[in-house]
Structure 1
Amino acid sequence: MVLLCAACVCASPRGQALGLYARGSYADAAPLFAEALRDSLVRNGTNHIDSARLMHEAGANLYCLGRYADAEELLKAALAAKEAVLGPDDPELARTLNNLAVIHDARGNAVVAETLYSRALAIKEKALGRDDPSLAHELNNLAVLHRGQGRLDDAARYFVRALELREKELGAAHPQVAQSLCNLAALHRARGDAANAAPLLDRALAIRRNAFGSNHIEVANSLMDIALLRALEGDHASARTTIASALDIRLRCLGTNHPESAETATALADADLALSNWPAALGEAADALAMFDAAVGLTGGEAYSDAVRASQQRATEICLAAIARGARADAAAAAFAVMEQSRARRFLDQLAAASAARSAGLSRADAGREEQLHRRIQAVLERKHTELARTEAVQDRAALVSCELELTSLLGELRALEDEFARTYPRYADLRRPVIASMHDVRASVLASNELMVAYWQGSDTLYACVIGAATQRFHAVPVDMRQLKARIVRYIDVLENERPEPVFSAAAYALHEAIVAPFVSSGEVASAAPLWIVPHGMLSAVAFEALLCSTNGGGFAGADYLFNHAPIAYVPSATVLRMIRRDEAAGRSNASARVPALLFGDPAYTAAQCGGGGARAEGIEPLPGTRAEVEAVAGLLCGVDAGAYTFLGTNASESVVKRLSGTGELAAARVVHFAAHTFAPGEREGITEPCIVLSLCGDAGEDGFLNMSEVLTLKLDADLVTLSSCASGWVRAEDRMDGISGLARAFFHAGTPRLLVSLWGTDDDASAAFMRSFYAALMRGGGRADALGSARRAMLASAFNHPGLWAAFVMTGEWR
């Protein structure tokens, strides 16, 4: 629970804002808080207690509006200002520490949240003593965190102490007592003790109604607590009635574009699902999906929008479960529409923005205006990321606040420009807001007659799939033990990455095929598909389908019955993405300017020795000498006698070279762009906050050597193919599985390529080089990219590199032809 500083409600903007906040009118309060903060910054500067308090209050209000990224930056700035003005041990710091902890807890970062809560509690205990009633807030928040971690005994101790302090100081009818009662009741509920929870919740509801009236957000919170308890007791009818009342209040207080409104609508659908009221559950869950879509725009930043999208997954599953139970006669089309609405939305929105800019027919002047604005935004984001990459001790909070204010202004300019373009260019508005592909669209205008698509969705206890082809459209719902499925996937990946013996591989690959392919498509359907499109979701995003075994026939690795031998396989994050890619190619806008055979980057300089004795900017990154031979061999195949003009090795495989080639248009003129370098995921090394390609770490003044996702988004590409021949460049981390594509691959699609060849895990350098030589040689002979991949795999099977772990890692994402 976010707590504001106590202040007089008066006629000033700040006073009015605090009054609106107290009534739950967060949207009305936001501009007043912003006005007051701007005035204070001009009048007092950043390191002034009035500015610090206003940053705290404005941040708390933005959190309540669901604008989590903006809230976090203001609260961090408020904390730094308070520490500068008041010192590190002043009790006022506790409020801001608590609010920052709430945000980290919402992001799933429980360790940081507990550290912040504990520091807040220690500050107040030291300054005020252990019996001060204001400690109840910190105790309560720590208890909520411990309850979420399953540390119920620790939670109970804190909850009881908080309740005793509040009742003693504030009286039995104070709203803060109601909060303690609700949290203690939730602890009883977690222990299955409904009898002790119910009277606490009833008392809390009465307190809140008496204090706030019947239409306050805190009353809605109490109603939801009561509904959860009734559902636990099996009284789903009563739970549904109570949830409906809570939803009515939240919609009036928060609107339809707030995550809590969407989550409440999802809870209502869940109640109807439990009551076997399939049509109602479907309608309510569909409403929730629309609310989640609206809420994502408010959150700010992928770390926060991902949390909203994660909640959206439950609404999607409710829709699919209701459809599977007969809620819609057109089950396949309805289920596919729901999947597409929730699938790869972060990626789809980015792709749509890039497509609109390329395809809407903007004048040169207007295209330049948009590009310049995006560059200004990117420059501010890079300043912000650079500052955030520093340790907390040396971060410049004033600079971060400046970045946030500048970003707010620039994003406002961008929205205004997009509105202007939507009025001036009719196609821009349509392209900017992607229309989700329907099953009819996919069959009629996206897939060719011999293409077959399997679109998966991983539920909590069911694996769903829509199968779409010229002769079929159907929906499957197969009950699955998800723990067992996860174990099979983990086992399969392990035998590939670690090159386990053939009998071990065979058992794992066949078992997984029988779990995720055989229940949905027949062997005859697979054999006639060219290609078999896989639209993955959840854990399936990490699976290399190529190496699954359709049977246990055959001998050894070379003779095994691999799925790729039955059909070419290609991956796409969603059918809507595939439609966008093919629409751009049909319009002649993809690859229109390509004239150079290829540009290739490899063997970047990572060590002092590679840097000619000079120091590298990062230590401990293993050199990749094998990639030099790979790049030179591929360049010889693609570029012939001029290969040297198109290869960039050692210190020349640098960020500045890539950006220079992008700026001059040479990068956009390349049919193939090939990177053979390390890739890092966020957190893999200190200061790495985004997926990145590690290029030369020396001889590149002004760049850090890490070409990150945000920088890739600004590149100008028109390549027919981008290859990321690097360790795990295509590995889909858990946080990216709602998109079904790695963050780095997503950025390259946005930059302007219709297809990528990526690696799901790291392989032997010699094996990677052999695979790439075989793939590009097959590509030069003609035929599709998927056919070239199949040819390369068969060449590997006939060589010393025949273990599937050495060739199955390389997969094609995007257009296969």
Structure 2
Amino acid sequence: MSVSEGLLGAVAEVVDEHGLSGTGELTGLLAVGAEAGEGAEAVALALLTLGIRARDERDYARAGWLFELASEATVGMGDVQLWVRARALLGGLYRAQGRYDEAEEVLRAALAAAEDASAVPGSVRIDVCNELGILFKYTGKFDEAKSFYERALTLLEGNSVSDQRAAASLHHNLSGLAHSRGDFAAAVEPGRRAIATRERALGPDHVEVALDKAALAPVLIELGELDEAETLLTEALAVIEETYGPEHYETGVALGNLAALAYRREDYVRAEELFGRCLRLKEQALGPGHPELAVTLNNLAVLAGRNGDPDRARSLWQRAVTILVASVESGHPLLGTVQRGLESLGPGATA
């Protein structure tokens, strides 16, 4: 079911009038829907659409409020499918913000509701399982992450464009999971499948294909396939910058991968400059305490140590440890890496 721009505009007007007050807005929204000849389902879909737009603009406070309102609207309807979609989006939003415990609670509740309701389609269950897989990759629960990704793959039902995009995303994420575990050889096949599947669905110049290429490149760097990695990154960055602009989070991620390539080629000056730009763009998008910053902080700390600046290295590693201790499992490999880096500096290097 699609939502008319007229209803979206009317719903947005009510939302803007109330701000993030949390009082009385749902009644007004349902009244707006009734005036437009639409029911609660259309209002809930409008809220989800506006929430996704706010999320994509990184207005996370507004997005979370809209997803909560959509959840509230669906409860009155008894529409489990829409409720699960709203909660999956909210859980994904919490995960993107680094609010991992809250994300797990919301996503597990969404999955339980989806499993109890036969009316919830496979596509919605796939979204929830995929979100849980991403969450557990970040927190270091790698076996659980793999289980949810593979479970989602079994739910794929056809060969439509949407099915192919979902399959590509799951292969992309399985590759990323293997990369996080340090099993680089195992990351190559799903990474290549993600690119090939997405190209069939969307064409070779789509930004989602570029993101798949940018994700496979660091795996190839670890395996010493530097020329292919450079080709993928050059192609990917051109599309990402054209689509999102030079200041976007995804541009920062691609720059970080180019920095890793420069480091591998022993071009340490360029590597430091690119990692610095990557960190700036990630901080700009995610905030100064987000767990995704830790890998870039670690890379900059390694470079600082190589450049004979142990004080800067210590500061960067201490910051990374502080961020990770608050958000990931104690056995997470990245946490172990930054702790060992800190310990290598000797006395005074505790966090």
TM-score (norm 1): 0.35
Give the equivalent residue in structure 1 for 2:139.
107
Cα distance 1:60–1:203, how it changes in 2: closer, same or farther (>3 A)?
A: same
Amino acid at match of 2:217: A
How far apart, CA to CA, are the structure 2 residues paired with 1:108 and 1:246?
23
Kept in 2, the 8 Å contact 1:178–1:207? The answer is yes
Instruction: State the secondary structure of the residue aligned to 1:74.
Output: helix
User: Residue 187 of structure 1: CA displacement?
Assistant: 2.7
Cα distance 1:7–1:160, how it changes in 2: closer, same or farther (>3 A)?
A: farther
- The question of 1:15 aligning with 2:46 is answered no
Q: Deviations over 1:485-505 (max 9, x none)?
A: xxxxxxxxxxxxxxxxxxxxx
User: Residue 56 of structure 1: CA displacement?
Assistant: 0.4
Q: Residue 158 of structure 1: which of 179, 186, 190 is its match?
A: 190
Give the equivalent residue in structure 2 for 1:35.
69
Give the equivalent residue in structure 2 for 1:44.
77
- The question of 1:278 aligning with 2:347 is answered no
Amino acid at match of 1:163: I
Kept in 1, the 8 Å contact 2:140–2:329? The answer is no
User: Residue 104 of structure 1: CA displacement?
Assistant: 2.5
Give the equivalent residue in structure 1 for 2:158.
127
Q: Deviations over 1:147-185 (max 9, x none)?
A: 455665554332222212212322223221012102322
Aligned residue pairs: how many?
A: 311
Instruction: State the secondary structure of the residue aligned to 1:173.
Output: coil
- The question of 1:193 aligning with 2:246 is answered no
Instruction: State the secondary structure of the residue aligned to 1:215.
Output: coil
User: Residue 197 of structure 1: CA displacement?
Assistant: 0.6
Give the equivalent residue in structure 2 for 1:266.
298
Cα distance 1:110–1:317, how it changes in 2: closer, same or farther (>3 A)?
A: closer
Q: What percent identity do the matched residue pairs reach?
A: 24
Kept in 2, the 8 Å contact 1:273–1:318? The answer is no
User: Residue 67 of structure 1: CA displacement?
Assistant: 1.0
Instruction: State the secondary structure of the residue aligned to 1:187.
Output: helix
User: Residue 311 of structure 1: CA displacement?
Assistant: 4.5
Kept in 2, the 8 Å contact 1:240–1:268? The answer is yes
Residues 522-671 of structure 1 correspond to what in structure 2 (within 5 A)? none
Q: Residue 278 of structure 2: which of 229, 246, 257 is its match?
A: 246
- The question of 1:231 aligning with 2:263 is answered yes
Cα distance 1:312–1:147, how it changes in 2: closer, same or farther (>3 A)?
A: closer
How far apart, CA to CA, are the structure 1 residues paired with 2:3 and 2:288?
30
User: Which structure 1 residue ranges, 5 or more long, are not aligned?
Assistant: 1-5, 325-331, 343-817
How far apart, CA to CA, are the structure 2 residues paired with 1:110 and 1:8?
41
Rg (Cα) greater in structure: 1
Q: Residue 79 of structure 1: which of 111, 133, 137 is its match?
A: 111
Kept in 1, the 8 Å contact 2:81–2:119? The answer is no
Amino acid at match of 2:293: S
Instruction: State the secondary structure of the residue aligned to 2:155.
Output: helix
Kept in 2, the 8 Å contact 1:256–1:262? The answer is no
Kept in 1, the 8 Å contact 2:300–2:316? The answer is yes
Residues 801-816 of structure 1 correspond to what in structure 2 (within 5 A)? none
How far apart, CA to CA, are the structure 2 residues paired with 1:21 and 1:206?
24
Instruction: State the secondary structure of the residue aligned to 2:123.
Output: coil
Q: Deviations over 1:460-488 (max 9, x none)?
A: xxxxxxxxxxxxxxxxxxxxxxxxxxxxx
Instruction: State the secondary structure of the residue aligned to 2:230.
Output: helix
Give the equivalent residue in structure 2 for 1:416.
none
Give the equivalent residue in structure 2 for 1:69.
101
How far apart, CA to CA, are the structure 2 residues paired with 1:8 and 1:180?
32
How far apart, CA to CA, are the structure 1 residues paired with 2:239 and 2:3?
23
- The question of 1:117 aligning with 2:142 is answered no
Higher helix share: 2
Amino acid at match of 2:77: N
Cα distance 1:16–1:132, how it changes in 2: closer, same or farther (>3 A)?
A: closer
Kept in 2, the 8 Å contact 1:52–1:82? The answer is yes
Kept in 1, the 8 Å contact 2:161–2:201? The answer is no
User: Residue 136 of structure 1: CA displacement?
Assistant: 1.0
Amino acid at match of 2:99: R
Cα distance 1:104–1:288, how it changes in 2: closer, same or farther (>3 A)?
A: closer
Cα distance 1:56–1:89, how it changes in 2: closer, same or farther (>3 A)?
A: closer
- The question of 1:58 aligning with 2:52 is answered no
Give the equivalent residue in structure 1 for 2:38.
none
Give the equivalent residue in structure 1 for 2:176.
144
How far apart, CA to CA, are the structure 1 residues paired with 2:195 and 2:63?
30
Cα distance 1:89–1:13, how it changes in 2: closer, same or farther (>3 A)?
A: closer
Give the equivalent residue in structure 1 for 2:30.
none
